[in-house]
Structure 1
Amino acid sequence: MDAGHLLTAMVTPFNNKGNVDFQKTTQLIEWLIRKKTTALVVTGTTGEAPTLTKEEMQALWAYTVKEVDGRIPVIAGVGTNDTKESIFLAKKAKLAGVDGIMAVVPYYNKPSEEGIFQHFKAILDEVDLPLMVYHIPSRTGVKMSVDGLVAIAELPGIFAVKESSGDFATVSELITRVPSLAVYTGDDYLALPMSAVGAKGVVSVAAHIVGEEMDHMLTALARGNTVEAARIHRLLMPVFTGMFLAPSPVPVKTALQLSGLDVGGVRLPLAQITQDERTQLQQLLGKLKAL
């Protein structure tokens, strides 16, 4: 599956009662497609998946697939730290009509690399969908070796790895050893440097706000215009940083509201943004608009 170079880890819109807001979801999908998103990742961490019920996830997948209507791929986040649960969600995602699934390296349990390998193999044995592996040691408590990632990447059905360790050596070796694999960084600020060493692109949070600019940056790099790509990267760095001045997706949801698209608040245990943080975001977006 070709998901392009700018995947957006889509936030989940809520209404003022904290329920999933499907009307706002339609508005958000259209907003992101206009901003050059090449694929949507629904119910990932940025989509507050840990606080969504199974029924809400299934409804979001089906609704997003219907609204996107084949314009770009839809990838469903189905990862948990329970293999049976992940398989259950993956089957439901397939029924919803998604184009692919994303599953995180199991968190909290701290399984061995053999256990992690068997986890992904079990999902692929049960569900015939392209799968993106999400490697994020800061959240899972497990940092995989390159050998471990390569073993998983070579399983039939794995189409990509979302690499959020920030380790250039790991990314470089993974691309060298599995050339057919699409490697994406999960960190906006690494979108350009990781792409420069061969990554396919980024699974982005900031693309909610600066998607067109990021698309321009990555396209410039692909065309060999490194000076232009680097210029845009430097301009966007404050945005990349600003989207994480509080736990994600609190800042990006606030930034969307300040940009004219209200997607609601967040669910506990995430807390609403402070007034000081909101002021910082307002100033950041004001500077961006001036640039």
Structure 2
Amino acid sequence: MEQKTKGFIPVMLTPFKNNGDIDFDVLTQLTEMYLQAGASGLFANCLSSEMFELKDEERLQVIKHVIKVVNGAVPVVATGTFGGTIYDQASFVKKVHDTGTAAVIAITSLLADQNENNDVFNDRVFELINQTENIPLGFYECPVPYKRLLSAQQLADFVATGRVIYHKDTCLDIDQVRQKLEAGKNNNSFGLYDAYMVHAVESLKAGSAGLSCIQGNFFPEMVVWLCNNYADVSLQQEVATVQQFLIDNMEVMHNVYPVVAKYYLSKRGLKISTITRRNVGDFSQATKGQIEHLYNDYTRLQHSVGIKMV
């Protein structure tokens, strides 16, 4: 099951100007940074992109812009379901696909309400598949508006249609990840990308296609390094050090996110503001101090492990 080549798929941020408009110039620089770091694909218009705070036209503008900057270098996936009837969601999936995406991602929690059972959910997934012609699809177990996890059997049934090629997993349970990998093993086009960096190395060794995590919005080259070197026998001490660094700093990177990620990137030299459209809490001096401490710790780790910062 283990795949030889693993990939990092960043969950992209959306930069904003001080007036709240999308900053497309910085979006260009951000996209180029991901590519220079070695990303094997990009996930545009996701939760980290503040997709729920964008209008439909803005969502499409962001996706089109990213695809233009990428210029075919790597595939781009993007969310295409935002509630409403399956007909409405299928219609927007088609619009997202028309931008040039490699796959359009369905949010599991927007295909059925929290109080609706899996039979209802499954029926809607198959209905969405039927209404979107031959468009490649994927799933994202997004925690907003609530987290709806797929079982291994559900994933197996969906992948068996030949239409589902991507899954961003947020179950936080390595045993469930292994079961899902087993469920999708017979489709060479399908890839599971894990979001939970506490078990990043275990997930890669179990056969995941790669990682798709918010940590890539702080140090993308380190996530790429982990994907490239997790199985290198001569680097197991360094791999363990990187894995522990991710575990130790999990909380600070999730606090007031994505503001903290934008601030971190500004320290790296990207001219990105900390403006967000989502109200994620107070970016206090204490939190800012934690991010500066994280920056210093990563600088030391980067030099000790031999990771080249882009």
Q: If the length of structure 2 is used for normalisation, what is the TM-score?
A: 0.85
Q: 1 CA distance for matches of 2:199 and 2:263?
A: 23
Q: Residue 131 of structure 2 aligns to which amino acid in structure 1?
A: E
Distance 1:32 1:280 in 2: 24
Aligned to 1:218: 227
One-letter amino acid of the structure 2 residue matched with residue 74 of structure 1 = V
**SS of the counterpart of 1:206?**
helix
* Structure 1 stretch displaced more, 145-154 or 193-202: 145-154
- Aligned length in residues: 288
Residue aligning to 2:97: 94
Distance in 1, matches of 2:7 and 2:161, equals: 22
Q: Which amino acid aligns with 1:20?
A: I
Asked whether the equivalents of residues 79 and 102 of structure 1 are also in contact (C-alpha less than 8 Å), the reply is yes
Tell me if structure 2 keeps the 8 A contact 1:250–1:272.
no
Deviations 1:134-166 (A, max 9, x none): 124685243443322322232221012211011
Corresponding residue SS for 2:153: helix
Letter in structure 2 aligned against 1:281: I
1:12 maps to 2:4: no
Aligned-residue Cα RMSD (Å) equals 2.2
Unaligned runs of 5+ in 2: 302-310
Contact 2:44 2:63 in 1 (8 A): yes
CA contact (8 A) 1:188 1:204 kept: yes
Q: Deviations over 1:182-221 (max 9, x none)?
A: 1111223332221122211111211122221222222112
Question: Match for residue 125 of structure 1?
Answer: 130
Deviation at residue 52 of structure 1 after TM alignment: 0.4
1:242 is matched with which residue?
252
Which letter maps to 2:21? N
Give the 3 Å change call, closer, same or farther, for CA 206–152 of structure 1 in structure 2: same
Write out per-residue CA displacement over residues 13-55 of structure 1, whole angstroms, 9 at most, x where no aligned residue.
1111111111111011111111111111011101001100000
Partner residue in 2 for 1:160: 166
Question: Quick one: which of 252, 266, 276 aligns to 2:276?
Answer: 266
Gaps of 5+ in 1: none
Query: Is contact 1:7-1:40 (8 Å) kept?
Result: yes
- Is 1:134 matched up with 2:134? no
Question: Aligned AA for 2:130?
Answer: D
Note if contact 2:197-2:246 (Cα within 8 Å) is conserved in structure 1: no
TM-score (norm. length: structure 1): 0.90
Instruction: Percent identity, please.
Output: 20
Q: Which residue of 1 aligns with 2:240?
A: 230
Aligned counterpart, 1:109? 113
Note if contact 1:117-1:151 (Cα within 8 Å) is conserved in structure 2: no
Secondary structure of 1:243 counterpart? helix
User: Which residue type is aligned with residue 7 of structure 2?
Assistant: H
SS at match of 1:140: coil
2:307 corresponds to which residue? Answer: none
* Matched residue SS, 1:106: helix
For 2:291 and 2:268, the matched residues in 1 are separated by 10
Name the SS of the counterpart of 2:138 in structure 1: strand
Among 23, 29, 33, the alignment partner of 1:31 is: 33
Matches of 2:205 and 2:139, distance apart in 1? 21
